[in-house]
Structure 1
Amino acid sequence: MRNVLLLILIVGTIIMTGCSYEYAKEDGYRMAVINEGFPIPKNAYELKPEDCTNVIAKSAKYKLKDIGDEEGTPPQDYLDEIERWGWTELEDKRVGHVHYFEKEGKVMSLIIQQNVFDVFEMSDELEL
Structure 2
Amino acid sequence: MKKYLTAIIVLPLFLLALGCTPRYEEPVDGYKPSSVDDDFPIPESAALMQTIPEPENPNIDNGAKYEVKGIGGEQGLATPKRYFQEIQAEGWTQLEEKQMGHVHFFQKDDTVIALEVREDSLTVYEMIKDAKF
The alignment's TM-score, normalised by the length of structure 1, stands at 0.76
2:110 paired residue among 94, 105, 110? 105
Letter in 2 for 1:57: D
Structure 1: distance between partners of 2:78 and 2:127: 21
Structure 2: distance between partners of 1:49 and 1:91: 26
Per the alignment, residue 21 of structure 2 pairs with none
Per the alignment, residue 3 of structure 1 pairs with none
Aligned-residue sequence identity (percent) comes to 34
1:66 paired residue among 59, 62, 70? 70
Alignment deviations for residues 89-122 of structure 1 (CA, whole Å, 9 cap, x no partner): 0000001111000000110000010001100000
Structure 2: distance between partners of 1:71 and 1:43: 17
Structure 1: distance between partners of 2:60 and 2:77: 20
Per the alignment, residue 15 of structure 1 pairs with none
Per the alignment, residue 40 of structure 1 pairs with 42
**Residue pair 1:54, 1:125 contacting (<8 A) in 2 also:** no
Letter in 2 for 1:120: Y
Structure 1 residue matching 2:88: 3-state secondary structure: helix
**Residue pair 2:94, 2:107 contacting (<8 A) in 1 also:** yes
Per the alignment, residue 20 of structure 2 pairs with none
Gaps of 5+ in 1: 1-22
**Residue pair 2:36, 2:63 contacting (<8 A) in 1 also:** yes
- Residue 28, structure 1, aligned to residue 30, structure 2: yes
Q: Shift of the alpha carbon at 1:55?
A: 0.9
- Residue 119, structure 1, aligned to residue 121, structure 2: no
Gaps of 5+ in 2: 1-25
Structure 1 residue matching 2:39: 3-state secondary structure: coil
Structure 2: distance between partners of 1:118 and 1:62: 6
